[in-house]
Structures are given as C-alpha cells and as structure tokens.
Amino acid sequence: MHFEPYPFEKLTALLEGITPNSAYSPIALTIGEPQFETPAFIQKSLAKHSEELRRYPKTAGESYLNDSMRGFVERRFGVKLKANELVSSFGTREVLFNFPQYYLFDKKEPVMAYTNPFYQIYEGSAIASRAKVIHLNLSEQNGFKPVIDEAELAGCDLVILNFPNNPTASVLSLEELGDWVKLALKHDFCLINDECYSEIYTDQKIPSLLEASLYVGNSSFKNVLVINSISKRSSAPGLRSGFIAGDGSILKGYAQYRTYVGCASPLPLQAAAAMAWADEYHVAKAREVYAENFKAAQEILGIETSDATFYVWLKVPNALEFTQRLYRDYNVKVLPGEFLAREDARGENPGIGYIRIALVEETVRTIQALERLKEALS
C-alpha cells in the first residue's frame, strides 16, 4: 500500500536548502488552521470538565453532543435530523478515511470519484479501499465546479464533493447540489459533500447538500451524506469534533463499524464541543476577521473576494519557482497548487500554475504577508 507524501512534506522538500530573507519575520500561509485564540468559553468548558477524563467515552458520542450537532444543522440549514441520521466523530479526517473503506468493502471492483484538487485524505481512503479513482477536475474553464459526465459517473459507488471548496474557494448553488442528488439517486451511488468550510462565508450563507436533498424531494436523504467539523467554524481544530449526517440506513451500519475503530472523543472535549456547536456569536466574529482579510487581499492583490472559505487560489506563471522565490526573498510560505492535485486520465493536473494562500492570520499580519506577495508578483 503506497501513499503519496502530504503537500506539506513536498513543500519542505521544495524549500530545502533555501535560506529565507532574515529582514522579514516568517509568515506561513500554508495550512488551513485558524491562527486565532480558541474562544474563551470553549477553553473554560474544557477545563471545567477535565475530571471526566477518568471515564471511558462512548464511541457514539454523548447525547448532549449529538443533540447540539443536530441543533446546529436545524438552526443553520433548516433541516431537522432524526437521531439515527447523524453520527458524531473524532473530527472529520477520521470519517473521510474510514467511511469509504467501510462502504466500499463489499464492492467487487469499487469506483470512487472526488474533486481534483482535493484534501489528500480522499486519495488515501481510495488507496486503502482499492478503489478505481475518477478525478472531477476543477479548472478556470469550468468555473472550478465539477462537470457532470453521466456516462462516467454511472459506474461510481462513491462520490465525494467538497463545497465550499478547498483550495479553489468555489461554491455550488442549491440547484447545482440538487442536480448531484438526483444523479446519486438515478445511478444509486453514495454522494458525500465535505462541508467543513460551510460557516466561513463572506456574504450569503452557503447551502448544504442536506438542503439540496430536501429541495429535490429526497426527504429520507437516500444515498446522501454530509460531513462537517468544528475546526474552522470555531477556531478549534484540537477539539476533534465532527459529524457525518444524512441517510440513516447507511449510517446504521457505519455506526456499528466505528465501535471497532476506537476513535471515541474524550468527554471533556465532547462537553466543550457541544457548547461550541450551540453558539453562533463566536462564529460570526471569526467571519468578520476573514472578511477583513479578503478585503485586504482584494485591495492589495486586485483579486475578487471569494464567497467562502479562507483561501485564495492565485494564478502565477510558475508556482514552484514562485514559491521558492517568495520564501527566499520575503520569508513567506505558500503552497503550490500542483501539490494538492493529481494528473487525471488525460494527463492534466488542474493545480499547475496556482498557489494556495490561507488567510488564517490576524488582519495586520495578513496585510504584511499580502504586501510581500504583491511585491514578489511585480
């Protein structure tokens, strides 16, 4: 079983031997990790419940946490989930890796499709599942939205979308998501949308695949699942709190499978996460910072503001060379787009010629980095 090095490992190799300009303080705009303090009320809850470390947690999660997650879904998307339609998880990386292995286990020759560029765990799960992969390329030509090739997708067992998208920051409308739901029903494949960036939007709220399922009349969420996480929403990736929700008939078996995986969340983390999922004020305050960062990017780099996520997918002449030069001359790290994508069946890598910039710092520091980027681009 062979796994590709992670993008950050490739970046380390690319920059090896380069001495950055010490006249500038180092700034890394590479990882999608909010660089803000986790809200105080979350930290206080974690400390308050630390004595519960003496107890084993349930794999299924405490009822108060699952209730809080379903409350978030209802409050945010207007979707009321039944108890069997949501499974809490130890973050979403766990689910994205082991759910495909569970779901594809009994498929004789499994076929999996996912957006390209992508979060690398999709590829890892495909390798572990021995699945044939279909890349859904996101390019400037298709507006960074996956083109539906029905003949190709008809043979799929599992399709993973990621909207709002990492790294291109593109979004799908309710109607566009609805088209994917109808396709999943028509060809009987499982459709997942990774919605971890759903709460980082600049203006209009971003729709969920669950909403789209109801929109096209699929009220039982047949073949439809979404994944979401507290990491970006609450600036708390260390809480490892996420969920998978939708088709209860699929989740019933998966919930049992997870009892063997051993990924139960410690009780103090569950208590803090439940509070975070129930609160919207701190999320709105974080969105204000990201909006300021995008405003700065628009003014400094002359780019359009993204509808969601905290990423800028910036076109540059030679991404590898530019990344090295930016680090050497300006002490700023970014991630080449080709590290986040793969060549498809036609030999095309849609990440070539782009860099991903994560606007996850406080605005003053973000402005410093963007001004250095502008100078490097000129």
Give the tens place of pLDDT for each residue, 284-297.
Answer: 999 999 999 999 99
Residue 373 has pLDDT above 90, yes or no: yes
> Residue 104 — very low, low, confident or very high, per pLDDT cuts 50/70/90?
very high
Residue 273 has pLDDT above 90, yes or no: yes
Tens-place pLDDT, residues 309-330: 999 999 999 999 999 999 999 9
Angstrom distance (rounded) from CA 117 to CA 172: 16
Residue 75 has pLDDT above 90, yes or no: yes
pTM of the model: 0.96
Higher pLDDT: 182 or 304? It is: 182
Mean per-residue pLDDT, 337-348: 92
Q: Which domains does the chain have, with CATH numbers?
A: 7-37+282-377 (3.90.1150.10), 54-277 (3.40.640.10)
Residue type (1 letter), 11: L
Angstrom distance (rounded) from CA 251 to CA 212: 19
CA-to-CA dists, residue 359 to 20, 158, 270, 365, 376, angstroms: 21, 32, 28, 10, 17
Predicted local distance difference test score (pLDDT) of residue 305: 87
Contact 111, 263 (CB under 8 A): no
Residue 341 has pLDDT above 90, yes or no: yes
> Residue 36 — very low, low, confident or very high, per pLDDT cuts 50/70/90?
confident
The full length of the chain comes to 378
Angstrom distance (rounded) from CA 54 to CA 305: 47
- Identify the three-state secondary structure at position 208: coil
> Residue 157 — very low, low, confident or very high, per pLDDT cuts 50/70/90?
very high
Angstrom distance (rounded) from CA 109 to CA 130: 8
Residue for token pair 């859904």:
136
* Four-residue CA torsion sign, 86, 92, 97, 100: positive
For every residue of 27-85, DSSP letters joined together read EE--S----SPPPHHHHHHHHHTGGGGGSPPPTT--HHHHHHHHHHHHHHH-----GGG
Tens-place pLDDT, residues 38-70: 999 999 999 999 999 999 999 999 999 999 999
> What rounded mean pLDDT belongs to the chain?
96
Angstrom distance (rounded) from CA 164 to CA 368: 26
Mean per-residue pLDDT, 353-363: 96
Query: Which DSSP helix (H) or strand (E) runs through 357?
Result: strand 354-358
Contact 356, 338 (CB under 8 A): no
Residue 346 has pLDDT above 90, yes or no: no
Predicted local distance difference test score (pLDDT) of residue 262: 86
% of the chain with per-residue pLDDT over 90: 94
How many Cβ atoms from other residues are within 10 Å of residue 297's Cβ?
Answer: 24
Higher pLDDT: 346 or 268? It is: 268
Predicted local distance difference test score (pLDDT) of residue 179: 98
Question: Beta partners for 354?
Answer: 315
- Closest C-alpha among 126, 137, 164 to residue 1: 126
* Four-residue CA torsion sign, 100, 110, 349, 207: negative
Predicted local distance difference test score (pLDDT) of residue 344: 86
Residue 375 has pLDDT above 90, yes or no: yes
Mean per-residue pLDDT, 72-86: 98
Predicted local distance difference test score (pLDDT) of residue 1: 85
- Identify the three-state secondary structure at position 323: helix
CA-to-CA dists, residue 150 to 136, 170, 194, 351, angstroms: 12, 22, 21, 24
Provide the token pair at 91. Answer: 């973050």
Tens-place pLDDT, residues 198-249: 999 998 999 999 999 999 999 999 999 999 999 999 999 999 999 999 999 9
Predicted local distance difference test score (pLDDT) of residue 191: 98
Residue type (1 letter), 109: E
Question: Beta partners for 135?
Answer: 114
